[in-house]
Amino acid sequence: MSFNFNSFSQKQIQNVQDRTTLSLNGDWQFIIDPYKMGYLDYRQKPFDESESGKGGFYDNITNPGKTKRAEYNFDYEPSLTVPGDWNSQYEKLEFYEGVLWYRRNFTVSLKEDKRYFIHFGAVNYESHIYLNGKKLGVNKGGFTPFQFEVGDKLVDGDNFLVVMVDNTRKKDEVPTINTDWWNYGGITRDVNLVETPESFINDYKVQLAKNDATKIKGYIELDGSAGEESVVVQIPELKINQSYTADASGKVSFEIPVKKIQLWNPEFPKLYEVKISSSQDAVTDKIGFRTIATEGKNILLNGESIFMKGIAMHDENPLLGGRLRSDGDMRMMLRWAKELGCNYVRLAHYTHNETMLRLADEMGLLVWSEVPVYWTISWENEETYKNAENQLSVSIQRDKNRASIIIWSVGNETPVTEARNVFMGKLVDKTRSLDDTRLVAAALEVEREGYTITVDDTLGEKLDLASFNQYGGWYWSEPKELPKYAFDIKFNKPVVITEFGGGALAGFHADDDTMWSEEYQELIYINQLKMMDKIDGLRGITPWILVDFKSPRRQNPVYQQFWNRKGLISNTGVKKKAYFILKEYYRNKSLK
Ligand code: GCU
């Protein structure tokens, strides 16, 4: 059955944070529904496709008197906090994968000349959305935003929003069934009712032109405009105050020459206030301006060669054992990276929260942003491709104004086959068609023969970086052996090592031959850094990983207990010995 991936075609409202919103975060009642009782009749037919369209939990029947037999009632159910995954909120839900229903009552006083949208930051994985018993639509993809216009379904006063969430893993989905991270289910990011004027500023891009720090280039898209509407771009600090007239479709493209602009970089993450206004609407954003390019084996930030001192991280609060929920959570993770001496982070393996990128802009961290095309997915399935392309497109559309993002990654550790090359190749082309100002990459794998590590994945030819994962000292070879290895990289491109590392249980000390000990992990880092420093063209690394994270694939009862222990910091915030090796390396590593 073909799925209508509309979340890109129905362009998201850019910068929801700066709009008039009613937050729908907070406590939502929930019903666990492993047999999809609220969605399918006993013939397994969806109620919402029946003649009446009624019969599902989205009817939200709460007064049994009226329909005696209703076998559910949200009013008597406990609640889950939104935003938040369900797994970390109730022990009985820790391993739960399947269908769970959410309900949120809310009151709104509608205004005549306004439009209304319900916007979800992210819901993992497949979600069916109902407002006041009427279906709004379906979304697939657990890490990107989606919205529905609801003016015709909202009522003045009391409303109820019901969301059926299904995080069941399936082969043809993105990601597929096998991942080394916890399959957190639920409404994991903010939910807002957004109120806009009839004609409003739906989308805009305001960035420097490709590789040109003398020109701001962008566009503005109005939604609901009668055409010929005037729009203004203001950047007060740069004395920019430009007026334009939108075309019949409500679109304006512009190029504004700039002088004396302070370029954004991790040391001085300068953000400018940018105001965009139209006859009925106005939106303000904080935007940094920088250029990013490669030249031979160099990565040029604002025209200067840099070394990216990085670390990888998941969207998980180790102290909670759940998805990052608040500014505070996200700021904590980025601050840990800064304390380590990083100027760069790899946000793995899926689109992270928009707030994370805005904080990276503010705190001064370069970002590798990735879509969950992870390991072996269904390369020949057209639906799978559409799904991947949709998640990529929505991610780029959401974050295109973030200076911190310098690299779009189209996937991680995918097997080299013809079908995969075609699939990934199309994603690379799509990325470049949506944004030609950033680098495009993927986390490739290496081949080994004797003491030679070879990187010659054909996909590398289409990418801007020779970026790959290698686990010398952990999945292959011994830490002591590493200095004997050398790399044979077939691309004259900047080399960025996207993963290396090893596991250690914080507090377990032994000799450096004993796996899981901090000393073993420490030696991996000592010798990995020596081995990598020999690479001509090494321009960045993101060791795996900042902090221990939950994984259903890690069942060693002594050292793991469902935690991947490759963190440099434990899940209780303890810094392991390897942490200090990397910190020292970054303290001495020059940026040039
Ligand atoms: C892989 C993968 C990660 C995983 C890591 C590991 O390379 O990309 O998602 O967690 O290795 O094995 O720890």
Q: What is the CA radius of gyration of the chain?
A: 25
Give me the residue label for tokens 């069942």. Answer: 555
The whole-angstrom separation of Cα 203 and Cα 8 is 12
Average pLDDT over the chain, rounded to an integer = 96
* pLDDT value, residue 100: 98
Cβ atoms of 154 and 108 within 8 Å: the answer is yes
Q: Is 414 in the pocket of ligand 1 (CB under 6 A)?
A: no
Closest atom, ligand 1, to C-alpha of 412: 8
Q: Give 180 Cα–ligand 1 centroid separation in angstroms.
A: 6
pTM of the full structure:
0.97
Q: Is 469 in the pocket of ligand 1 (CB under 6 A)?
A: yes
Q: Give 407 Cα–ligand 1 centroid separation in angstroms.
A: 20
Closest Cα to atom 10 of ligand 1 = 180
b/e per residue 243-279 (b: at least 16 CB within 10 A): ebebeeebebebeeebeebebbbbeebbbbebebbbe
Cβ atoms of 373 and 387 within 8 Å: the answer is no
Query: If you average pLDDT over residues 244-271, what whole number do you get?
Result: 97
Which residues are within 8 A (CB) of 580 and not within 5 positions of it... i.e. 6 or more apart?
A: none
* pLDDT value, residue 226: 87
Instruction: Return the H-helix or E-strand segment holding 202.
Output: strand 200-209
* pLDDT value, residue 471: 98
Which residue of 180, 444, 550 sits with most ligand 1 atoms within 8 Å of its CB, as the best mutation to test the pocket?
A: 180
Instruction: Reduce the DSSP state of residue 18 to 3 states and report it.
Output: helix
Q: Residue 146: which region, alpha, beta or left (left: phi > 0; alpha: psi -120 to 50)?
A: beta
The whole-angstrom separation of Cα 12 and Cα 398 is 7
Q: Give 554 Cα–ligand 1 centroid separation in angstroms.
A: 11
Which residues are within 8 A (CB) of 488 and not within 5 positions of it... i.e. 6 or more apart?
A: 452, 453, 454, 455, 456
Q: Is 412 in the pocket of ligand 1 (CB under 6 A)?
A: yes
Q: What is the pLDDT of residues 451-495, one digit of tens each?
A: 999 999 999 999 999 999 999 999 999 999 999 999 999 999 999
Q: Give 158 Cα–ligand 1 centroid separation in angstroms.
A: 47
Q: What is the pLDDT of residues 8-18, one digit of tens each?
A: 556 799 999 99
Closest atom, ligand 1, to C-alpha of 349: 9
The whole-angstrom separation of Cα 119 and Cα 21 is 10
Q: Give 500 Cα–ligand 1 centroid separation in angstroms.
A: 9
Neighbours of 583 (CB within 10 A): 16
Q: What is the pLDDT of residues 82-120, one digit of tens each?
A: 999 999 999 999 999 999 999 999 999 999 999 999 999
Identify the band that residue 373 occupies on the pLDDT scale cut at 50, 70 and 90.
Answer: very high
Q: What is the pLDDT of residues 382-422, one digit of tens each?
A: 999 999 999 999 999 999 999 999 999 999 999 999 999 99
The whole-angstrom separation of Cα 536 and Cα 240 is 43
Which tokens go with 132? 């006041």
* pLDDT value, residue 62: 76
Q: Is 474 in the pocket of ligand 1 (CB under 6 A)?
A: no
Cβ atoms of 164 and 374 within 8 Å: the answer is no
Q: Give 543 Cα–ligand 1 centroid separation in angstroms.
A: 11
Q: Is 413 in the pocket of ligand 1 (CB under 6 A)?
A: yes
Which residue of 368, 544, 546 sits with most ligand 1 atoms within 8 Å of its CB, as the best mutation to test the pocket?
A: 544
Q: Is 204 in the pocket of ligand 1 (CB under 6 A)?
A: no
Identify the band that residue 2 occupies on the pLDDT scale cut at 50, 70 and 90.
Answer: low
The whole-angstrom separation of Cα 171 and Cα 502 is 28
Instruction: Reduce the DSSP state of residue 582 to 3 states and report it.
Output: helix
Neighbours of 154 (CB within 10 A): 18
Which residue, 11, 591, 14, is CA-closest to 287?
14
Torsion of CA 420, 473, 180, 323, to 10 degrees: -120
Cβ atoms of 465 and 407 within 8 Å: the answer is yes
Identify the band that residue 23 occupies on the pLDDT scale cut at 50, 70 and 90.
Answer: very high
Q: Of all residues in the chain, what percent carry a pLDDT higher than 90?
A: 94
The DSSP secondary structure of 266-335, one letter per residue, reads SSS---EEEEEEESS-EEEEEE----EEEETTEEEETTEE--EEEEEE-S-BTTTTB---SHHHHHHHHH
Query: In terms of residues, how long is the chain?
Result: 592
Cβ atoms of 185 and 125 within 8 Å: the answer is yes
Q: Is 544 in the pocket of ligand 1 (CB under 6 A)?
A: yes
Closest Cα to atom 9 of ligand 1 = 180
Closest Cα to atom 3 of ligand 1 = 180
Q: Give 227 Cα–ligand 1 centroid separation in angstroms.
A: 50
Cβ atoms of 187 and 123 within 8 Å: the answer is yes
* pLDDT value, residue 1: 44
Report phi then psi at 82, rounded to 5: -115, 130
Q: Is 346 in the pocket of ligand 1 (CB under 6 A)?
A: no
pLDDT at 4 over 80: no
Q: What is the pLDDT of residues 294-324, one digit of tens each?
A: 999 999 999 999 999 999 999 999 999 999 9
Which residue, 210, 211, 274, 272, is CA-closest to 242?
274
Eight-class DSSP state of 575: B
